[in-house]
Amino acid sequence: MFNTESYTLIAALFPRLLGLIYFFAFVPFLFQIKGLIGNKGILPLSDYFGALKERYPYKCYLYAPSLFWLAQSNGMLMTITALGALFSLGLMLGIYPSLLLFLVYIFYLSIVSAGQDFLSFGWEGFLLEITAYAFLLSLTPVPNLWVWICINLLLFRFHFQAGAVKLQSHDSTWADFTALAYHYQTQPIPNTQAWYVHKFPLWFHKLSAGLMFAIELIVPFALFGTDGMRAVVFVLFFGLQFFIWITGNFSYLNHLTAIFSTILLSNYFLDSWISPPSTLSSPLWLEVVLSFIGIFFVGMQLIRLSHHFFPNHLFKKCLYWFSYFHLVNPYGIFAVMTTKRHEIIVEGSYDGVDWKEYSFPYKPSSVTRRPKRISPYQPRLDWQVWFLPFTNFYAERWFQHFLFHLLKGTPDVLKLLDENPFSGAPPAFIRVVLYDYVFSSFKEKKEEGRWWTRSYMGIYSPTISLKTPES
């Protein structure tokens, strides 16, 4: 991996591949951002930035670095999102890659900093961190050695920490390799294949967990080896992400990780497919600057890796200032496996007697609706709702705002739903109930058309109304 001249082809192609991911990241917001953080959205951006500025008048721009400080109108939200999508198309076409990598980073960071609860997922920071290093990589035709080490170290760290957190959590299902027997049913938004794979015997799930641990904890060390070893690592990383994608809906994470893994492919494996890039040498001053930056971030990544296993105050203080720009991020997903699937169901009523269910686009609701494949698209509201059963209703401010908008009949928020049973006029009452969902059996699906079986658990929220008792 240290012979960077062997990786000029993938270094030239990589920005184009990232452009595809950014297209997946920006375009969904064209249909969701107004309902999520718009002027009449669930968590209005103007309120959030106003509160930040009032509490931190001088540090607010650091705590939320964003172009939206210029304006928080719906027009600004849509403009930044549309321009981001346009820049991603230009990146895919190979137009000024260094400039466009810088711009998509700034524009997506602006959305992430403004997104509040709806943009708190690990893949947002993962994409931004990769982009920062890809920008440095794009400045020279032959990858700078220290920048190259840095971006490879990130790929190592992402996989190794993903496996480590599962062991460090002392979760019993990961310890006995049974976690995947629950995962396909309890993941945020299952798809059709998850229903079928969930039916596989326990030995298959245990074997799958064992292979996953091997790929996450052992295989990453081989990426520091020969070109041939790195190619094998690519196949295994890609295979893991493909299987996760086949059986789940994790936004653009699997696509991003698979594309990121292509940096493992040397010219030997690509020269018959890709035209060679320019071989012009880089200015000495640029190489010196990039080496300094690369060495610095290699050091910061080693600090982050050390902090993961040996946390201390000094490491935390060193990493603190990078968190707002989503650089040198912590990684690890599904450290503790969820073994039960509890779903909230929102119901409305005109009279408090006859209740009708609101339908979300993709999360389990109707037991006869087939789980769909939607990734790399991410329905942010559906995802956020998945977390609710783990918390108390009164602790979820965003969800209380969401219910308020249902009572008001706010159009931008209603567009985030699949079906509004109160199209004529908003309901007078809203309540939220809790159900336990499990995948149906083959017999139930064949005879009754059910993909799910659900059982009532109780009330999640009190009945809410905009009317005062006297009215």
In a domain, 332, yes or no: no
Domain closes at, from 257, 291, 324 = 324
Do 115 and 214 reside in the same domain of the chain? yes
Do 9 and 46 reside in the same domain of the chain? yes
In a domain, 136, yes or no: yes
| Number of domains making up the chain | 2
pTM of the model: 0.94
In a domain, 267, yes or no: yes
Do 393 and 453 reside in the same domain of the chain? yes
Residue of 327, 316, 304, 354 whose CA lies nearest to 134: 327
Q: Which residue has the higher pLDDT, 279 or 159?
A: 159
Q: Within the chain, what is the greatest distance between any pair of CA atoms?
A: 79
Chain center to CA of 208 = 23
Query: In which element (H, E) is residue 439 found?
Result: strand 429-439
Do 300 and 390 reside in the same domain of the chain? no
In a domain, 336, yes or no: no
pLDDT in tens, 94-122: 999 999 999 999 999 999 999 999 999 99
Do 130 and 253 reside in the same domain of the chain? yes
Do 347 and 319 reside in the same domain of the chain? no
Mean pLDDT of 212-237: 96
Do 358 and 409 reside in the same domain of the chain? yes
In a domain, 227, yes or no: yes
In a domain, 470, yes or no: no
Secondary structure (3-state) at 437: strand
Residue of 30, 12, 145 whose CA lies nearest to 91: 12
Do 280 and 206 reside in the same domain of the chain? yes
Do 425 and 311 reside in the same domain of the chain? no
pLDDT in tens, 453-468: 999 999 999 999 987 5
Where residue 3 falls among pLDDT bands split at 50, 70, 90?
confident
pLDDT in tens, 284-331: 999 999 999 999 999 999 999 999 999 999 999 989 989 999 999 999
Do 319 and 355 reside in the same domain of the chain? no
pLDDT given for residue 471 in this prediction: 39
Long-range contacts of 105-110 (CB under 8 A, 24+ apart): 105/131, 105/132, 105/135, 106/67, 107/26, 107/67, 107/80, 107/83, 108/22, 108/25, 108/26, 108/84, 109/65, 109/66, 109/325, 109/326, 110/65, 110/66, 110/67, 110/68, 110/80
Do 304 and 355 reside in the same domain of the chain? no
Q: Which amino acid is at 239?
A: G
CB-based contact 358:432 (threshold 8 Å):
no
Chain center to CA of 57 = 30
Q: Domain range spanning residue 73? A: 4-324
Q: Which amino acid is at 424?
A: G
pLDDT in tens, 359-387: 999 999 999 999 999 999 999 999 999 99
Residue of 297, 237, 223 whose CA lies nearest to 266: 223
Mean pLDDT of 139-153: 95
In a domain, 37, yes or no: yes
Size (the chain), residues: 471
Do 220 and 270 reside in the same domain of the chain? yes
In a domain, 256, yes or no: yes
